[in-house]
Chains A and B, each alone.
Chain A
């Protein structure tokens, strides 16, 4: 709750800087905080990067930065649409032991951070 109020306050301040009429402002505040909330919802619940997954969680690979992900990984099954499960993590979450589409393999966190996934609800 308090978090939302803070967001509201900061966005209100930002708008006051723009010197807008108060009513317009309040309408804007509503809109902005709404989109903000929607965005956050998206970020938390659905898409995230692979290195933010928790142990035991499953997700679907959405996309990745092609230049940062080695071809070998793609060939081992890390392709958009495939399912990935985080089997185990070493200390500091690095490296990460994954089950991608039936292939069990470990990659470094750095590589994982370039892979966007969509979490599957448990």
Chain B
């Protein structure tokens, strides 16, 4: 009894597997109206009637058991490997009532593997609107299965589904279509050669091009000798198999399903006429992008100011109410400003996630893929690369994972390599603070805010560089792979508020927590380094400053500032900064910015927090991060340290440099070699340095 009950959710992309999964397990995995949202296995536990617990597996969508992209492969590998710890005791095939015919193809294939199978017909809430009626009993009989008609949105039908799962032992494991009818002789020979093996499984192994990691190698070898049929012959047989299956499905559905086609003609075609139009389609797409930037810049500035002030006040409060000492200083000067440097960006990041989530949930994303495919192909990318590039504006990590549904390896690799150029939300804090310091807050053409235009320009630079480097890579990389491209265009759906809200909250939370941990650690380390120093220079900083300035001539306030500056200069961090300084000086930065840049190689968003910590060690008053930065003076040239030249140079540096450990780790995982992440790190950062250098030297 120790073995748990394994349940796998399998089905075509976008049929609502993850929605069903969330309903069964109470988890909140990401749901979206775009085929290919889920790209890896996700696990959860579901309580069944009579105290049984089931281990539920959410899988990427696949159209059939013949994989043509990496995410689909996950499913096939699982189903062909009986020794896998997740090998399902029962397969739950999730289908969409509006696409039942196509969804049943996969169902009949899985039945052929002799796995106990339940059919879930999801989206029951849409049946009325589309005038669909189903004869469930007859369907169950013809398909030799049990059916649960559910709606994940309305949460109906799940009790029956749980009941069916817990009674899985009573399910029939007879196939409903037998693949062997397509070539009886061939299949007979197979059966004789491998009497112990499942026939359909053998057939799948023979016909797949893909590599089956965990399948027994020896077994594979002997099967290979069976590949006497030529490739095109095999494909002909596969076509025949598909036809046979559809014949069966058509026959079944004719008896059990009726759709009023007039009622089905609807919103979709009207919306598509505009949204995928040759001219309007593109205009609308760009208008949406513009709206997003406006929202990020203009609308979120109010909550941001509030947060900024709140953190400044909090630091001040800690300083005045807690007993003075090193610990208070650590909190007031190290941790609070460091965290404030990231919390302040919650409104923007939430806005960004909100828009991306809305684009995905409405079904619009596939239309963008359609509109952009031709253009992207010019640059060696696929229309499907648009999704990583757009969601890369939130974070490169999920974006790189989202490339898994690109069928062509070369297009996929190029997409992975260029995605980090898109302006991710971690760059946003850096951009925003620098823009607000060096770009005047004016209106151009009465409506556009100059600062938000510059921000938009930076996003465009990110996209532009991504696309140009894709073009270069397309020429350089010598990888032969046949292109093909099929994308499903899902129905438009009114985004479900709950899904969108979960999405925004979960993602913002994980962004803040992820960044928060790094920032907390770094700001503590920085604070320790900044408030201690080696040797007499540091300990005597106070006397030295007073002596040098010929006291009395200056007000106390001025004097304090100089003492603090002197201390910082001779602290550990000061020495380290000085060592870096020669490298960053030509770009117009001082050693403090140098430290901030180095620490942001862990993660970009650390930049603002680092500066905030360093600066607050050097001052005593309650001040916002921005005011502190504005007050910094260039030690050599005089004048504000953050001026147009150094500001632009910094912006460009952050636009191009590869400063994210987690992205590098993901690229390594997705490409299976260190070669690509290392190249990314070296080339992107080198390029960033050169561009920043040129920009500063030209502007100064």
Interchain CA distance A79-B245 in the complex, whole Å: 12
Q: Decide yes or no whether B485 CB sits under 8 A from chain A.
A: yes
> Are A97 and B489 within 8 A (Cβ)?
yes
> Are B63 and A104 within 8 A (Cβ)?
no
> Are A106 and B63 within 8 A (Cβ)?
no
Instruction: List residues of chain B with CB within 8 A of the CB of A72.
Output: 63-64, 66, 68, 407, 484, 486
> Are A74 and B373 within 8 A (Cβ)?
no
Instruction: List residues of chain B with CB within 8 A of the CB of A79.
Output: 239, 242-243, 246
Instruction: List residues of chain A with CB within 8 A of the CB of B487.
Output: 105-106
Instruction: List residues of chain B with CB within 8 A of the CB of A7.
Output: none
Find the B residue at minimum CB distance from A101. B101
Interchain CA distance A71-B105 in the complex, whole Å: 13
Q: Decide yes or no whether A120 CB sits under 8 A from chain B.
A: no
Interchain CA distance A83-B268 in the complex, whole Å: 19
Interchain CA distance A72-B236 in the complex, whole Å: 13
Given contacts A66-B235, A91-B374, contact A106 B242 (CB under 8 A): no
Instruction: List residues of chain B with CB within 8 A of the CB of A110.
Output: 483
Instruction: List residues of chain B with CB within 8 A of the CB of A105.
Output: 486-489
Q: Decide yes or no whether B562 CB sits under 8 A from chain A.
A: no
Q: Name the residue among B101, B239, B243 with the largest chain A CB count within 10 angstroms.
A: B239
Given contacts A87-B272, A102-B101, contact A108 B485 (CB under 8 A): yes
Given contacts A79-B246, A95-B373, A97-B276, contact A74 B239 (CB under 8 A): yes
> Are A67 and B101 within 8 A (Cβ)?
no
Find the A residue at minimum CB distance from B235. A66
Interchain CA distance A90-B268 in the complex, whole Å: 17
Find the A residue at minimum CB distance from B366. A106
> Are B371 and A67 within 8 A (Cβ)?
no
Interchain CA distance A95-B376 in the complex, whole Å: 11
A-contact 0/1 string along B461-491, CB 8 Å cutoff? 0000000000000000000000111111111
Instruction: List residues of chain B with CB within 8 A of the CB of A75.
Output: 63-64, 66, 102, 105, 242
Find the B residue at minimum CB distance from A87. B272
> Are B278 and A71 within 8 A (Cβ)?
no
> Are A88 and B272 within 8 A (Cβ)?
yes
Interchain CA distance A112-B484 in the complex, whole Å: 11
Q: Which of B77-91 contact A (CB under 8 A)?
A: none
- Our pick among A71, A77, A88, A92 for the contact of B101 (Cβ within 8 Å) is A77
Interchain CA distance A59-B246 in the complex, whole Å: 19
Q: Decide yes or no whether B383 CB sits under 8 A from chain A.
A: yes
> Are B269 and A87 within 8 A (Cβ)?
yes
Given contacts A66-B236, A108-B483, A108-B484, contact A102 B242 (CB under 8 A): no
A-contact 0/1 string along B123-142, CB 8 Å cutoff? 00000000000000000000
Tally of contact residues, B, Cβ under 8 A: 40
> Are A76 and B276 within 8 A (Cβ)?
no
Q: Which of A35-81 contact B (CB under 8 A)?
A: 66-67, 70-77, 79-80
Find the B residue at minimum CB distance from A103. B102
> Are A74 and B485 within 8 A (Cβ)?
no
Instruction: List residues of chain B with CB within 8 A of the CB of A97.
Output: 272, 276, 370, 489
Instruction: List residues of chain B with CB within 8 A of the CB of A71.
Output: 64, 66, 68, 235, 238-239, 242
Q: Name the residue among A80, A87, A104, A110 with the largest chain B CB count within 10 angstroms.
A: A104
> Are B488 and A76 within 8 A (Cβ)?
yes
**Distance to closest chain A CB from B62 (angstroms):** 10
Q: Name the residue among A92, A94, A103 with the largest chain B CB count within 10 angstroms.
A: A103
Find the B residue at minimum CB distance from A79. B243
> Are B371 and A90 within 8 A (Cβ)?
yes
> Are A74 and B269 within 8 A (Cβ)?
no
Q: Decide yes or no whether B517 CB sits under 8 A from chain A.
A: no
Q: Decide yes or no whether A9 CB sits under 8 A from chain B.
A: no
Instruction: List residues of chain A with CB within 8 A of the CB of B490.
Output: 104
Given contacts A77-B102, A88-B272, contact A70 B486 (CB under 8 A): yes
> Are B66 and A102 within 8 A (Cβ)?
no
Instruction: List residues of chain B with CB within 8 A of the CB of A87.
Output: 269, 272
Q: Decide yes or no whether A111 CB sits under 8 A from chain B.
A: yes
**Distance to closest chain B CB from A83 (angstroms):** 12
Find the A residue at minimum CB distance from B243. A79
Q: Decide yes or no whether A14 CB sits under 8 A from chain B.
A: no
Interchain CA distance A16-B272 in the complex, whole Å: 56
**Distance to closest chain B CB from A45 (angstroms):** 26
Find the A residue at minimum CB distance from B106. A75
Instruction: List residues of chain A with CB within 8 A of the CB of B321.
Output: none
Interchain CA distance A81-B366 in the complex, whole Å: 27
**Distance to closest chain B CB from A80 (angstroms):** 8
**Distance to closest chain A CB from B643 (angstroms):** 44
**Distance to closest chain A CB from B546 (angstroms):** 73
Interchain CA distance A67-B383 in the complex, whole Å: 23
Q: Decide yes or no whether B232 CB sits under 8 A from chain A.
A: yes
Q: Decide yes or no whether B42 CB sits under 8 A from chain A.
A: no
Instruction: List residues of chain B with CB within 8 A of the CB of A74.
Output: 238-239, 242
Q: Decide yes or no whether B224 CB sits under 8 A from chain A.
A: no
Given contacts A95-B383, A97-B276, contact A76 B374 (CB under 8 A): no
Instruction: List residues of chain A with CB within 8 A of the CB of B28.
Output: none
Q: Decide yes or no whether A20 CB sits under 8 A from chain B.
A: no
Instruction: List residues of chain B with CB within 8 A of the CB of A76.
Output: 63, 102, 486, 488
> Are B373 and A108 within 8 A (Cβ)?
yes
> Are B486 and A91 within 8 A (Cβ)?
no
Find the B residue at minimum CB distance from A109. B374
> Are A90 and B278 within 8 A (Cβ)?
yes
Interchain CA distance A102-B488 in the complex, whole Å: 11
Instruction: List residues of chain B with CB within 8 A of the CB of A80.
Output: 243
Q: Name the residue among A91, A95, A101, A111 with the largest chain B CB count within 10 angstroms.
A: A95
A-contact 0/1 string along B271-304, CB 8 Å cutoff? 0110011100000000000000000000000000
**Distance to closest chain B CB from A75 (angstroms):** 5
A-contact 0/1 string along B59-82, CB 8 Å cutoff? 000011010100000000000000
Q: Decide yes or no whether A107 CB sits under 8 A from chain B.
A: yes
**Distance to closest chain B CB from A14 (angstroms):** 38
Q: Decide yes or no whether B662 CB sits under 8 A from chain A.
A: no
**Distance to closest chain A CB from B407 (angstroms):** 8
Interchain CA distance A72-B485 in the complex, whole Å: 10
Q: Decide yes or no whether B436 CB sits under 8 A from chain A.
A: no
Interchain residue pairs A-B with the least CB separation, the first 5: A104-B489, A70-B484, A75-B64, A88-B276, A106-B370
11 chain-A/chain-B pairs, Cβ below 8 angstroms: A71-B64, A71-B238, A75-B63, A90-B276, A91-B278, A92-B374, A94-B374, A102-B99, A102-B102, A104-B268, A105-B489
